[in-house]
Structure 1
Amino acid sequence: MDFLIGGLAGAGATIVTNPMDVVKTRMQLQGELRARGTAPERYKGIFHAVYVIAKADGLLALQRGLAPAMWLGFTMNSVRLGGYHTAISHGWTKDKNGNTVLLKAMLCSSISGMLSGLTGNPAFMLKTRIQASAHPSIAVGRQHRYKGMIDGIRTVYRTEGLKGFFAGVNATCLRLAVGSAAQLPTFTIAKEYLIARGYLQNSPMTLAFVASLGSGVLCVLIETPLDVANTRLYNQASAASGKQLYSGVMDCLTKIYKTEGLHGMYKGLGPLYLRIAPHTTLSLVIWDTLNNVLLGYRKKS
């Protein structure tokens, strides 16, 4: 049940945040391996990106890749949130007095994040490629022309084999391990801090909302360079084509820094924050609320 609740929380939050994910993906691919100012700037900012995407591809293009994004939200968060909640339930994150130990919580959340990267990678890859596909007038990066998620699965399997579904998996596992270690313990400790001081004890949803706010900020600052690398690795050509730009996550980060500078490492920071912050808040609030409902049901039965 812990894993189902985690999955539902992630999938539910994805519906709201997917448009910012589309914008983030396009902005991260813009000017790929080009020095700043030498490539056409299709997207000049968050609101300009929303405008040109809606104008060129239609308003529904802002929800492009929603099916694999929801698949990702469910599979990834069922493992990440479900695994972390299991660790909490078994006391693996606490000391003998029942207080959360930061290092223990970071270790448990990091492991659950890394495992979620393995399970969610195929959906993550498909989502990124579908979101990047655009009208030629605003296209950036390599264009994978899939007709939808099912067509994408068939095409990847036919042209790249099973290995194709795990492109960029090292970057994904690293990003989620680091991001989860920053996000989930922060959320847990913030909740405990507020409760210990008598705040919001009778308002669990508000408590979860307030505790989740700081998690989003910390996540974005730590995750952005790895998220940029993720997007680039997912969207590049297959190894069989001989046209790969990057051999792995460190090669990707090195090339981005050398050609695009620190700015390149933080491309899409704005839309990534506008995606992660509400996604973090929504998923953690939904997750916490469903866990409270389940706990109340168990107490009654």
Structure 2
Amino acid sequence: MDFVIGGLAGAGATIFTNPMDVVKTRLQLQGELRARNEHAARYRGIFHALYVIAKTDGALALQKGLAPAMVLGFCMNSVRLGMYHIAEVQGWTKTKEGDISIHRTMFWSSASGVMSGLAANPASVLKTRMQAAAHPSIAVGRQHSYNGMVDGVVKIYRIEGIRGFFAGVNATCSRLAIGSAAQLTTFSTTKETLLSHGLFERYPLGLAFAASCISGVMVALAICPFDVVAVRLYNQGPASKGELLYKGVFDCLSKIYKKEGLHGLYKGIGPLYLRIAPHTTLSLVIWDMLNILFNNKNK
């Protein structure tokens, strides 16, 4: 049940945050391996991107990749939040005195993040490619044409094999290990700190909301470079003319930094935060509330 609760929390939050994920993906692919003065920006920020996408491809284009995104949200959060909740219940995240242990919390949140990355990577690849697909006038990055999630799965398997579903898996695991550690550690310690000061004792929803808002800031700052790398690796697809743009995580980090500068590694941090903050808030609040309801029902 711990895994189902975590999965439902992630899938539910995805419905509301997917438009920002579409914008983030486009901004991160824009100007790929080019200096800022070497390309014309088709998206000049978050609100301009929302407007251009809706105007050119229709408002529903802001929900591109929603099906694999929800599968991703369920798979990732069922493993990550479910595994972490078990660690919390078993007391593996606390000291012998019963206090929160930062080191143990970071270990279990990172471990749960890595496992969730492995489970959800195929959905991440498909989601990113579907979100990047656009009308030629606003297209950025390599374009992949899939007529829905099932068609995408079939085409990736036929052209790239099983390996295609695990493109960028190293970047994903690195991102999730760092991001999950930042998210769940901040979330747990913030809750404990607020409660120790007598805040939100009678308001579990307010407690979860306040803790998750702070957690979202830390996650965005920590994972943005790895998020950019993951999106680039997901979207590059099979080799074109015998060459891949990126050979791996470190090659991708190096090329982005050399060609696009530090700005390139933090592309899309605005929509990344605007996606992560509500997604973190919604998923962790839903997760917290479902756990409370389930525990009360058992009692």
SS at match of 1:74: helix
Distance 1:241 1:227 in 2: 26
Answer yes or no: is the 8 Å Cα contact 2:164–2:237 preserved in 1: no
Q: Which blocks of at least 5 consecutive residues in structure 2 are unaligned?
A: none
What amino acid maps onto 1:215 in structure 2? S
Instruction: Give the number of aligned pairs.
Output: 299
Deviation track 1:91-114 (CA, whole Å, cap 9, x = no partner) reads 000012211100000000000000
- Separation of aligned partners in 2, 1:240 and 1:42: 24
2:110 matched residue in structure 1: 110
Cα drift, residue 237 of structure 1: 2.6
CA offsets per residue over residues 151-200 of structure 1, 9 Å max, x none? 00000001001111000000000100010111101100111111122111
Q: CA deviation at 1:117?
A: 0.3
Q: Could you tell me how far apart the structure 2 residues matched to 1:116 and 1:59 are?
A: 31
Q: How does 1:230-269 map to 2 (within 5 A)?
A: 230-239=230-239, 242-269=242-269
- Two-structure CA RMSD over aligned residues (Å): 0.9
Distance 2:105 2:251 in 1: 31
Q: Which residue does the alignment assign to 1:25?
A: 25
Q: Where does residue 184 of structure 1 map in the other structure?
A: 184
Post-superposition shift, 1:239?
Answer: 4.1
Counterpart of 1:161? 161
Provide the C-alpha distance between the structure 2 equivalents of 1:21 and 1:90, rounded to a whole number of angstroms.
34
Report matched runs for 1:124-273 at 5 Å: 124-239=124-239, 242-273=242-273
Runs of 4+ in 1 over 6 A off after TM superposition: none
AA of the residue aligned to 2:115: L
Q: What residue in structure 2 maps to residue 63 of structure 1?
A: 63
- Name the CA shift for 1:262/1:3 in 2 (closer, same or farther; >3 Å): same
Please give the alpha-carbon distance, in whole angstroms, between the structure 1 residues aligned to 2:139 and 2:103: 43
Query: The residue matched to 2:37 in structure 1 has which SS?
Result: coil
TM-score by length of 2: 0.99
- Spell out, residue by residue over 1:209-259, the C-alpha distance to the aligned partner (whole angstroms, 9 max, x if none): 001111100000010000000000000031486231000011000000000
Contact 1:80–1:116 (Cα < 8 Å) also in 2 = yes
Displacement of 1:36 in angstroms is: 1.1
CA contact (8 A) 1:109 1:177 kept: yes
C-alpha distance in structure 1 between counterparts of 2:288 and 2:222, whole Å = 24
Give the deviation of 1:298 after TM superposition.
1.4
Shift of 1:6: 0.4
Please report how far the alpha carbon of residue 126 of structure 1 lies from its aligned counterpart in structure 2 after TM superposition.
0.2
- Post-superposition CA distance 1:67-92 (Å, at most 9, x none): 00000000000001111101001100
Give the whole-Å Cα distance in 2 for the aligned partners of 1:55 and 1:138. 11
**TM-score, normalized by length of structure 1?**
0.98
- What is the CA–CA distance in structure 2 between the aligned matches of 1:232 and 1:120, rounded to whole Å? 17
Counterpart residue type for residue 174 of structure 2:
L
Where structure 1 has 5 or more consecutive residues not aligned to the other structure, the ranges are none
Match of 1:243, SS state, is coil
User: What is the letter of the counterpart of residue 275 of structure 1?
Assistant: R
Q: How many percent of aligned residue pairs carry the same amino acid?
A: 67
